[in-house]
Amino acid sequence: MAIRAVVLGAGEGSRMKSILPKVIHPVAGRPMIEWVLNATASLDPVQTVVVVKPDADQVVAMLPDGATPVVQPKQLGTAHALQYALEVIPLDAEDHVLVVPADTPLITSDTLAEMAKLHRRTGAAVTCVTANMEDPTGYGRVVRDGWGRVERIVEHADTNTHEREINEINGGVYMFDGSLIREAVARVERDNVQGEYYLPDMVAILGAEGYGISAYRTDAEELSGVNTQDQLAGVAEIFRHRINRAWMRDGVWMQDPGRVYINASVRLEAGVRILPGVHLEGSTSVAEGAELGPDCFIKDSRIGSGARIWYSVLRGVSVGADAEVGPFASLRPGAELGDGAKAGTFVEVKNSVVGARAKVPHLSYVGDAEIGEEANVGAGTITANYDGYDKHRTRIGSRAQIGSNTVLVAPVEVGSEAYTGAGSAITRDVPDGALGVERASQREIPGYAKRRKARHEAE
């Protein structure tokens, strides 16, 4: 039995009121349609066709190799969309056609496998996936006959008051017998409230011919469709819980999993600790014993074991084992903190290496720099890396002591175990072990306050 998959993604998505095509809105960091394509791929279809709107370049651009886009020129309904897909599908008698809407990202490969199994076992002309939903508003309802067999599906807009009470909903996911699908889809009409060609009408069409209809009932959660921003947020929340539960099963501690946002692409080790308000995105990986949060945004970054990061933003960086970041640090692309290093309060680091156990504790900008092991960078230090045309590098040797409020005008180098005097603007290299100081020397003027007061009283 060969399976050919059709993913329907050409709908207007008008209820989203969004500038993005509906099916590429991200959930848990992936476009909705990618979740659906991953699930359908698990059935090893010999062909995958994605129905798209005209000019849906953004959708076509993110399709994986092996998924063929087909344009539905006008959005006249789901059965109309299927017809366009079938134009590029050669069907053998043994083939079966899986149809999945692109706006149902929670559908799992397990459910698809179970429905395919049921479809094969019953030899049905069509198998649909249904669920009992507490609030079925907006979904097609499954109408069963006196023996409990599926008779037809009625769209919400077309229900009578009795049908509206039915809470078994149609998930929009079907498997069709390939030898019957073409003829059945051609018979769908649009004499309904929305004036659309409804794909679910194929159930009644095939049933009336005496063919078998089967239905696989699954969890309502999996069939949650995304038609509005509200539903998108609801689906994202379900994904969040799925992902967080899976990490907690693997030994990650979360103080409040409802407030932790981990994208599907992220990797965590057992023993990671996560406080509320943490967002982990992209290729981020976090090693055992690291503690994140409260309130961090971390993208495309590698966090070492035992690192401690709070109230901070990290993008494209690597943080060594037992390093400390924040509160209120911004680590930008190319920042590399060595083991046990520190980027503390109000510190920005970009394209720089901070050596093992080196510390930048307060109020500093470190850009295009290399800081040697165990160096200490005093509060308020700035690497002046930009001359208005080019960026230049600053090198600070190991165990150097950079005085508070030093400006290091790059290109410049401070040797190992060297010092800079507080408040200096360092424009020339400081040799190993030397003190570089650049500021006027201090004078004391005795009795100044008294004279100042006398002058004021005389005026």
Chain positions contacting ligand UD1, by CB under 6 A:
8-11, 23, 51, 72, 75-78, 80-81, 101-104, 139-140, 153, 155, 169-172, 198-200, 225, 227
What is the closest distance, in whole angstroms, from the C-beta atom of residue 68 to ligand UD1 in the complex? 14
CB of 192 or CB of 398, closer to ligand UD1? 192
Is residue 103 part of the contact set for Mg ion (CB under 5 A)? Answer: yes
Which of ligand UD1, Mg ion, none interacts with 139 (beta carbon under 5 to 8 A by kind)? ligand UD1
Q: Are 25 and 11 contacting, i.e. CB atoms less than 8 angstroms apart? A: no
Which of ligand UD1, Mg ion, none interacts with 236 (beta carbon under 5 to 8 A by kind)? none
Which of ligand UD1, Mg ion, none interacts with 171 (beta carbon under 5 to 8 A by kind)? ligand UD1
Tell me if residue 362 is catalytic: yes
Which tokens go with 423?
């408040």
Cα 40-41-45 angle, rounded to 5 deg: 90
The residue number with the shortest CB distance to ligand UD1 is: 140
Stretch that binds Mg ion, among 95-103, 142-150, 233-241, 304-312 (CB under 5 A): 95-103
What is the closest distance, in whole angstroms, from the C-beta atom of residue 104 to Mg ion in the complex? 7
Q: Are 71 and 87 contacting, i.e. CB atoms less than 8 angstroms apart? A: no
Which of Mg ion, ligand UD1, none interacts with 396 (beta carbon under 5 to 8 A by kind)? none
Residue 156's closest CA among 135, 174, 177, 175? 135
- Residue 231 CA to residue 244 CA, distance in Å, equals 20
What is the closest distance, in whole angstroms, from the C-beta atom of residue 103 to ligand UD1 in the complex? 4
Tokens 């886009």 correspond to: 69
Which of Mg ion, ligand UD1, none interacts with 43 (beta carbon under 5 to 8 A by kind)? none
Q: Other C-beta atoms within 10 Å of 350: how many?
A: 21
What is the closest distance, in whole angstroms, from the C-beta atom of residue 245 to Mg ion in the complex? 26
Q: What is the CA radius of gyration of the chain?
A: 32
Q: How far is CA 220 from CA 97, 217, 234, 306, in A?
A: 23, 9, 13, 40
Which tokens go with 299?
């993208």
> Is it true that the peptide bond before 431 is cis, omega within 30 degrees of 0?
no
Is residue 373 part of the contact set for Mg ion (CB under 5 A)? Answer: no
Stretch that binds Mg ion, among 202-210, 221-229, 344-352, 382-390 (CB under 5 A): 221-229
CB of 69 or CB of 225, closer to Mg ion? 225
Is residue 436 part of the contact set for Mg ion (CB under 5 A)? Answer: no
Q: Which of residues 227-256 bind Mg ion (CB under 5 A)?
A: 227
Tokens 């609030």 correspond to: 135
CB of 98 or CB of 341, closer to ligand UD1? 98
Tokens 């095509």 correspond to: 21
What is the closest distance, in whole angstroms, from the C-beta atom of residue 128 to Mg ion in the complex? 15
Stretch that binds Mg ion, among 30-38, 211-219, 226-234, 380-388 (CB under 5 A): 226-234
Q: Other C-beta atoms within 10 Å of 169: how many?
A: 25
Residue 243's closest CA among 260, 222, 226? 260
Which of ligand UD1, Mg ion, none interacts with 80 (beta carbon under 5 to 8 A by kind)? ligand UD1
CB of 225 or CB of 355, closer to ligand UD1? 225
* Annotated active-site residue in 156, 362, 392, 456: 362
Q: Other C-beta atoms within 10 Å of 280: how many?
A: 28
Is residue 326 part of the contact set for Mg ion (CB under 5 A)? Answer: no
3-state secondary structure of 131: strand
3-state secondary structure of 256: coil
Print burial letters for 407-421: b (CB count within 10 Å at least 16), e (below 16).
bbbbbbbbbbbbbbb
Tokens 């009644």 correspond to: 204
CB of 235 or CB of 343, closer to Mg ion? 235
Q: Are 130 and 122 contacting, i.e. CB atoms less than 8 angstroms apart? A: no
CB of 15 or CB of 259, closer to ligand UD1? 15
CB of 15 or CB of 362, closer to ligand UD1? 15
Is residue 225 part of the contact set for Mg ion (CB under 5 A)? Answer: yes
Residues classed as catalytic: 362
Contact positions vs Mg ion (CB under 5 A) = 103, 225, 227
